[in-house]
Structure 1
Amino acid sequence: MATISSLGIGSGLDLNGLLEQLESAERQQLTPIVAQQQSYQAKISAFGQLESALDSLRQAATELSEVDGFADVKSSLSGDGLSATVGDEAVVGSYEIDITQRARSYSIATLGVADKEGTLGAGTISFTLGNGDSFSVAVTENESSLEGIRDAINAADNGVVASIVNDGSAQPYRLVLSSAETGTEAAIASVDFGTGGLGDHLSLDAATEVSAQNAQLTVNGIDITSQGNRVEDAIQGVTLDLEETGSVSLEITRDTSAIEGKIKGFVSAYNNLQNTISSLTSYDQESGTAGVLIGNYTVQSVESRLRSTLTDVLTSSGAFKSLSDLGITLEVEGTLSLDEDALGDLVAEQLDDLTDFFAGVADEDGLADRLDTVLGAMLDDDGTLDSVTSGLESSIEMLQERYEDTEARIDSTIERYRTQFAELDSLIAQMNSTSTYLTQQFEALSAQLGQSD
């Protein structure tokens, strides 16, 4: 049977169009599979939103789970002479600070030479520091210019810094040697250029010596000496940077606003979580639109466990037993409301009791610790959310395999249709050809019969 390269050429029928319609109808089998995949993917995304909100709540609870979380302090300075940085270990107190002397580094210069690039001869320069450390710098003939000596000392990086100054005289170039740090321990106690070579051309100018000195100050009448102008141990948890001599008053007070902010942040994080859950499980009657996780058991379980933890009465020995004792109440719609005035009074007057409620007493867990345990079961690896999302991902993979199998079956069916249509097209073309031939023969016969008459 003759072959036809394009469907419909032989028969004159729109076989290509018919094949496309059949293929479109067959591919409708894929639509519910894709829809189910999209549904599962939407749920994974929704659980991602839920996880993010839960993680934010966990972080807010963590800030309340340690005693240090309620020890925030702030500082105020009056007077000039220093800046203060208050760390986590600082304690409340008032400090009168008198700075009588700032720390200073040591320096001394050599007598001048005429050419800073001219060689002075090989040698060894020996240094001894105020703390007893000593070191030597060897200088070769080729490196023995003033610039070469400077570079060799600086490359040694042993606590001495070298530079060159030009004093404008006939022999203007001087090598200046300075201690890298302030204080008497870092000071240069001695410099020896040796004899011969380098030692014949360089010597110290005693008139240029600037002696090192330590910082001296008093804190509430206590004398303090520091090798540097940054003083870290004079006041617990406070770093002082001395800028000039003078008197300064430092006041360290409890930062009640920061502590209140952490509790407000906890309430806000929980309410944001509730808003997220409401959004994912809501139903709009007007539009008929349902949340992605409406009726989902996992979400209901998460919400129930959290609500139970927050409303449980603590059995610890602390003064407060429940959030309501702090002015934090659970509303009908599931969010928390906070009495900010009541919280402010508690932070100001019962901070220790507030700390015990959230951070715990001795071996007894506080609310923040209990909440972290519950949230950990939800958020940690192999936890509630990890398990449910892993199950959804597995379902998507199975649907993808089903999609590919169905698509392969559809392709096979369409190819079978294509082959059958091609055969039909050839058959009709052959029949048309035979019909045309017979018609021509009958017409010729009729013509002959007519002539004979």
Structure 2
Amino acid sequence: MSISFTGLASGFNSADYIKAIMNKEKLPLTRLQTKKEITTAYQNVFKSINTKLTTLKDASIALSDLGSFQLSKASSSDTTKLNAVAESTAVAGDYSVVVNTLAQKQVVASKSFNATDIYSASSPDAFPSSLSIGGVSVDISGLSLDGKKMSEVLNAIATKINGTVGIRAQASVIQTSSGQNALVLTAKEYGRANQFTFDSSSTWGFANKQAADDASLVINGIAVTSTTNTVKDAIPGVTLTLANTGSSTVKVEQDVDGIASKVDTFVKAYNDIINTIKDNTQKSTKNKDGSLTLTLQGDPMLRSLRSQMGDMVNKIVGDTPGFKLLSDIGLEVDKGITSASLMTGNITFDKTKFKEKMQENPARVEKMFSGTAGIDGIATLFKNSAKEWTDSVDGIITSKIKGYDSEISFLTEQIQSMSDRLDLREASLKQKYVNLEVVMSKLNSQKDWITNQASILTKSLSQK
């Protein structure tokens, strides 16, 4: 790092002088940098709108494509007996369900052993070298159990069983009473088909504690069995999860709340774009530092987008009285606002009215979103329009963003080129004044020598 002291020889503060010159010559560079910042800010607005339009497109697809309104829900009159979940293919109706038995896993337990007893492999009651579970032999001869406490022995055997490939049961050790442990085998799957055989020798004392069983139930008078407590499609398109025996009623109906949630997502996406356009096209105002706020007030593309969106939400999208305009089903622009200055262009979504219309005629409501012969539904209109604006190759906004990319790239090159020239200019000025100081230093040295010689000569003459 070099240190420069300006004006040592000349007395001239060249550093401040050079700084003043460079500040003036950097004005065009500052203007370019400001222009790049503004251009980037405008581009970010369009990037944001592009993202929001994509969100609106997705919300429109969710309301316009085939099956978009085919949402169903199922409910149980007694969730202590069973729960029900419906898919889109579920058939609406009321279903009487009587659960007679639940599916069970087979459970087998050994006799209880004193946990602190010491195991002896030579004892007449010692375990055999292998155990058969479901036809699979578990070799325990190499476990080195002799001399260990029975709690350790049982845990070692359980670990060996669980590590044996092909075993259809899971082993565990439980405490049956204070100081007493037993080895328990539980089938890995529910149902009679998954029951297993076991070694019932007197040493182990294994016995069935819970038999494997299938679930049995009656749905609208029809007997149904299942190897698990999850029963699928016994009611078409519905999955039942059995929890207890007893009776309940399963009601399957169109999921109006789920459909309303889709519409709400669409409305929020629409309003988000309208508000973003409004926020970025306000009249420019002064900041505290005197500069003007950025605005795209006169941008024709944003005006066109705003106008197109407004036209579409006010379009006739149905062919039946009471089901023609969005306002007929609870979607209204600037609801209750009569003053132009207060209008925002936002949609207000009346969910209560929408649900009422869905109950009245769900097919008509669906067609208002997806469309009928000769009339595009509102969701179809927005889906197609959003694709035109956001297409990744030649979308309207995509092209605008690419144009900004080119402009920013050009400005970046200009800024770099000008910065390089200014750096050279500043270095040249600094070198010029360094050279000046060198020359001045030499002249000052010569001046001092001449002054000194003159002083000596004067003194010598005065002594004669």
Please report the TM-score for the alignment, with normalisation by the length of structure 1: 0.80
CA deviation after TM superposition for structure 1 residue 375, in Å: 0.9
Give matches, 1:223-262, under 5 Å: 223-262=223-262
RMSD: 3.8
Corresponding position of 1:132: none
Conserved in 2, the CA contact under 8 Å of 1:80 and 1:246?
no
CA deviation after TM superposition for structure 1 residue 213, in Å: 1.9
Alignment pair present for 1:178 and 2:186: yes
Alignment pair present for 1:393 and 2:398: no
Give matches, 1:6-45, under 5 Å: 6-45=5-44
Q: Name the % identity.
A: 25
Corresponding position of 1:292: 295
Match of 2:171 among 130, 138, 162: 162
Corresponding position of 1:323: 326
Distance in 2, matches of 1:392 and 1:414, equals 32
Distance in 1, matches of 2:266 and 2:131, equals 66
Conserved in 1, the CA contact under 8 Å of 2:322 and 2:328?
no
Secondary structure of the corresponding residue to residue 233 of structure 1 = strand
Give matches, 1:36-435, under 5 Å: 36-79=35-78, 81-89=80-88, 90-110=90-110, 119=121, 120-123=127-130, 125-127=132-134, 135-143=135-143, 146-155=154-163, 156=165, 158-165=167-174, 174-188=182-196, 190-191=197-198, 201-202=203-204, 204-205=206-207, 208-284=208-284, 289=292, 291-313=294-316, 322-323=325-326, 326=329, 328-330=331-333, 334-337=345-348, 342-361=353-372, 366-382=377-393, 383-434=395-446
Secondary structure of the corresponding residue to residue 160 of structure 2 = helix
Distance in 1, matches of 2:203 and 2:160, equals 17
Distance in 1, matches of 2:318 and 2:233, equals 41
Letter in 2 for 1:292: T
Distance in 1, matches of 2:182 and 2:454, equals 129
CA deviation after TM superposition for structure 1 residue 409, in Å: 1.0
Distance in 2, matches of 1:444 and 1:37, equals 68
Moved more, 224-233 or 330-339: 330-339
1:382-436 CA-to-partner distances (Å, cap 9, x unmatched) read 2333332233233223222222221121121122222222333344444455556
CA deviation after TM superposition for structure 1 residue 142, in Å: 0.8
CA deviation after TM superposition for structure 1 residue 270, in Å: 1.6
1:158-188 CA-to-partner distances (Å, cap 9, x unmatched) read 4212234566799x66543332222211112
Distance in 2, matches of 1:271 and 1:62, equals 17
1:20-51 CA-to-partner distances (Å, cap 9, x unmatched) read 22222222232011101111121122123323
Secondary structure of the corresponding residue to residue 18 of structure 1 = helix
Distance in 2, matches of 1:168 and 1:344, equals 59
Distance in 1, matches of 2:139 and 2:79, equals 47
5+ unaligned residues in a row in structure 1: which ranges? 128-134, 194-198
Distance in 1, matches of 2:228 and 2:361, equals 41
CA deviation after TM superposition for structure 1 residue 226, in Å: 1.8
CA deviation after TM superposition for structure 1 residue 371, in Å: 1.6
Distance in 2, matches of 1:158 and 1:364, equals 63
Change (3 A) 1:81 1:157: farther
Change (3 A) 1:444 1:154: closer
1:123-164 CA-to-partner distances (Å, cap 9, x unmatched) read 46251xxxxxxx523415213865444223222364212234
Letter in 1 for 2:109: A
**Number of residues of Structure 1 aligned to a counterpart in Structure 2:** 433
Please report the TM-score for the alignment, with normalisation by the length of structure 2: 0.78
